[in-house]
A and B are shown apart, each in its own frame.
Chain A
């Protein structure tokens, strides 16, 4: 256990559905991240939140909408996805401020998303 949980672990959705992925970190970290991992492609950073403020959006299509209501929770809202969006979506957190900074990121187990 890394202290980062993700739900659901598996999700199958049609292209017209709306669903949300949830991430929670129990580490007291200040930053949270969404990554996409597709087969045979490098890990892609999607969004970065620092103290609940979005600080990075790597040209992600608007059908992916992140939400960070507090520094422990991160959501990824999905709507009208395409089959090529099928992938493993990973959440991570880190502490990169203050006296407890660690630099490394801790990852959740991921949500395996299949778009039909």
Chain B
């Protein structure tokens, strides 16, 4: 089975500084990787995905992620953090669940706090 790991429960960053939220993956075959964000009492919002192609993927709200095959990582980045970026971030990998269906397997999440 495919899996992802988010090694940090919490990341704190000052407003205006660059931010990185880490994710590593373990897959057999080519990985399909995703980042989601969740604001309090809301559902998950899709930010970006890596399927194939360029290792640097750009997504919503100025976020980007770098796919690194040798390090099996897919870290989320943003050049300049905003207070409004404070939320819970999830990394996910697509996994085959049988009978022609797929599922997303999520990491445990990283809470990002941007300090004014």
A66 at the interface (CB under 8 A from B): no
Range of interface residues on chain B? 20 to 34
B103 at the interface (CB under 8 A from A): yes
A42-B106, A55-B99, A56-B101 known; A103-B42 Cβ under 8 A: no
Residues 81-93 of chain A: 1 if any B CB is under 8 Å from the residue's CB, otherwise 0? 0000000101010
A70 at the interface (CB under 8 A from B): no
CB distance from A49 to the nearest CB of B (A): 8
Range of interface residues on chain A? 20 to 34
Q: With a CB–CB cut-off of 8 A, which chain B residues contact A33? A: 103
Contact B46 A104, beta carbon cutoff 8 Å: yes
Q: With a CB–CB cut-off of 8 A, which chain A residues contact B99? A: 50, 53, 55-56
Q: With a CB–CB cut-off of 8 A, which chain A residues contact B109? A: 42-43
B115 at the interface (CB under 8 A from A): no
Q: With a CB–CB cut-off of 8 A, which chain A residues contact B51? A: 103
Sample of 11 A–B contacts (CB below 8 Å): A31-B101, A56-B98, A56-B101, A94-B102, A103-B32, A104-B46, A104-B49, A105-B46, A107-B36, A109-B43, A110-B42
Residues 74-116 of chain B: 1 if any A CB is under 8 Å from the residue's CB, otherwise 0? 0000000000000000100010011111111111110000000
Contact A107 B43, beta carbon cutoff 8 Å: yes
Q: With a CB–CB cut-off of 8 A, which chain B residues contact A105? A: 46, 104
Contact B90 A43, beta carbon cutoff 8 Å: yes
In the assembled complex, the Cα of A45 lies from the Cα of B106 at a distance in Å of 9
CB distance from A40 to the nearest CB of B (A): 9
B45 at the interface (CB under 8 A from A): yes
In the assembled complex, the Cα of A104 lies from the Cα of B48 at a distance in Å of 9
CB distance from A115 to the nearest CB of B (A): 18
In the assembled complex, the Cα of A112 lies from the Cα of B69 at a distance in Å of 38
